[in-house]
A and B are shown apart, each in its own frame.
Chain A
Amino acid sequence: MRHPGRMGIFFTGAAAVAALYALSAIRLPGPEDVRGEYMRIINGECVTFRHVTDAVTAVNFDFRGFDTLGEEFILFVSVMGTLVLLRQTDAKPGAWAPDALSPGRAVGASDALRVWILAMTGPTVLFGIYTVIHGQLTPGGGFQGGVILATAPLLLYLAESFDVFRRITSHRYLEIVEAVGAGAYGVIGLLALFRGREFMANIFHLGKGGNDINLFSGGTIPVINAAVGIEVTAGFVLLLYAFLQEMLERKEAGS
């Protein structure tokens, strides 16, 4: 090791952290002793008072919607920072390495394999949309479905070429879509203020009667869920686009 002092500091600190952690872990109350009223209330409320069956989504987008708004903007700012860092000023499409431009052809994948990859794109999009819009009923939601949706254009890149990927995912419009998705979350939260309620209050129609649970029940939950899905999809496609473009940057002569 070039820095012997560094390892000394690390092992001293690690031993101290481990000792304190063990001390605190021993004194923690076990899971049987924790009463967890908050958890019990939310598990009870989400079906009866919010008309959704997935308590996790209800917590994310309603009970603790303000926290998720913060997380959403961390995501937004991280994507923005990555795009700024990887911004291309001298990209020349004609000079890219042909191998990386079309990986499927470069490794000699058969036509059958490439057609199969293309055929899987549709089901991937469908499954992503399904995961997003059923977020408040079954496991899933905007965050998970958004990432699934973002992998669909990648299949096109694998089967066809980067040009197809670029045509499908127009950079300029995706940035607008991402901003709209992130902004819609805040706007829905603000709408409650105009109804005289607190920020992020669930002001939309929850559903008829006591047991009316469907795709559109839950008030603001499915709307925010969809906004998050749009934002995450656009954000991850932009990330993949930036990294792909960076990798395919024109190669210098002789390399």
Chain B
Amino acid sequence: MIGMQLAILAIVAAAGGAVVFTRKPGEQVVGASFFGLMLALMFFIFQAPDVALSQLVIGAVALPLMVLLAIAKTRSTQMRQDHEREQPRKPEREHGRHGPDEGRFSPPDEERPPADVRQPPGRPREAR
């Protein structure tokens, strides 16, 4: 019993470190799912089946799924923003560039570039 407890604690510690030190979110999700599974196993070994069941469905299924969907969404946003940056900048495109739901939150006569990352080389960020 005590050996099993120490072993699962060591696995949980290693898996937690792996989650943090995996820097790419797409790969990190796999580690996080494994980490959730190991936490569930730890709860089970420490006589907490209720908590284990809860952790199993949350940590190994629900949480990684939502992270994956968020990654997919940010990736498609990135693609859209890259695409917009390649377009020639015309004055009449300024208003509708971010879609109707985003125009409300930004001033209509904005002069800012669409994003910080991967700017055209002619306009470094510090120059503004």
Residues of A near any B CB (own CB < 8 A)? 54, 56-57, 88-90, 100, 131, 139-141, 143-144, 147-148, 150-151, 154, 236, 239-240, 243-244, 246-247, 249, 251-255
The answer for the CA separation of A31 and B43 in the assembled complex, in Å, is 17
Main secondary structure of the interface of A (DSSP, over half): helix
8 Å CB contact of B61 from A56, A141, A151, A253: A151
Show 20 A/B contacts (Cβ-Cβ < 8 Å), sorted by A.
Answer: A56-B50, A89-B101, A100-B72, A131-B53, A140-B50, A144-B50, A144-B53, A144-B54, A147-B54, A147-B61, A151-B62, A236-B62, A243-B69, A243-B70, A244-B69, A246-B69, A247-B72, A251-B76, A251-B79, A255-B79
8 Å CB contact of B69 from A54, A143, A236, A247: A247
Across the interface, name the chain B residue whose C-beta is closest to A243.
B69
The answer for the CA separation of A154 and B61 in the assembled complex, in Å, is 11
Residues of B near any A CB (own CB < 8 A)? 48-54, 57-58, 61-62, 65-66, 69-70, 72-73, 76, 79-80, 83-84, 99-101
Across the interface, name the chain B residue whose C-beta is closest to A128.
B57
The answer for the CA separation of A139 and B53 in the assembled complex, in Å, is 8
Given A139-B49, A144-B50: A254 touches B73 (CB 8 Å cut-off): no
User: A139 contacts which chain B residues (CB < 8 A)?
Assistant: 49-50, 52-53
Residue contact B69 to A255, C-beta cutoff 8 Å = no
The 10 closest A-B pairs by CB, nearest first: A139-B49, A243-B69, A147-B57, A89-B101, A56-B50, A255-B79, A144-B53, A139-B50, A247-B72, A252-B80
Residue contact A255 to B80, C-beta cutoff 8 Å = yes
Residue contact A239 to B83, C-beta cutoff 8 Å = no
Q: How far is the CB of A139 from chain B (nearest CB, A)?
A: 4
Across the interface, name the chain B residue whose C-beta is closest to A236.
B62
The answer for the CA separation of A243 and B70 in the assembled complex, in Å, is 7
Given A243-B66, A243-B73: A251 touches B53 (CB 8 Å cut-off): no
Given A144-B57, A151-B62, A243-B73: A90 touches B101 (CB 8 Å cut-off): yes
User: A247 contacts which chain B residues (CB < 8 A)?
Assistant: 69, 72-73, 76
User: B48 contacts which chain A residues (CB < 8 A)?
Assistant: 56
Q: How far is the CB of B33 from chain A (nearest CB, A)?
A: 14
Across the interface, name the chain B residue whose C-beta is closest to A60.
B50
8 Å CB contact of A254 from B58, B61, B83: B83
Across the interface, name the chain B residue whose C-beta is closest to A244.
B69
The answer for the CA separation of A221 and B100 in the assembled complex, in Å, is 48
Given A147-B61, A246-B69: A252 touches B83 (CB 8 Å cut-off): yes
User: B57 contacts which chain A residues (CB < 8 A)?
Assistant: 144, 147-148, 151
Across the interface, name the chain A residue whose C-beta is closest to B101.
A89
Q: How far is the CB of A107 from chain B (nearest CB, A)?
A: 14
Across the interface, name the chain B residue whose C-beta is closest to A147.
B57
User: B80 contacts which chain A residues (CB < 8 A)?
Assistant: 251-252, 255
8 Å CB contact of A90 from B62, B84, B99: B99
Q: How far is the CB of B128 from chain A (nearest CB, A)?
A: 18
User: A240 contacts which chain B residues (CB < 8 A)?
Assistant: 65-66, 69
The answer for the CA separation of A147 and B57 in the assembled complex, in Å, is 7
Across the interface, name the chain A residue whose C-beta is closest to B67.
A243
8 Å CB contact of B62 from A57, A88, A147, A254: A147
Residue contact A89 to B73, C-beta cutoff 8 Å = no
The answer for the CA separation of A80 and B1 in the assembled complex, in Å, is 43
Across the interface, name the chain B residue whose C-beta is closest to A149.
B57
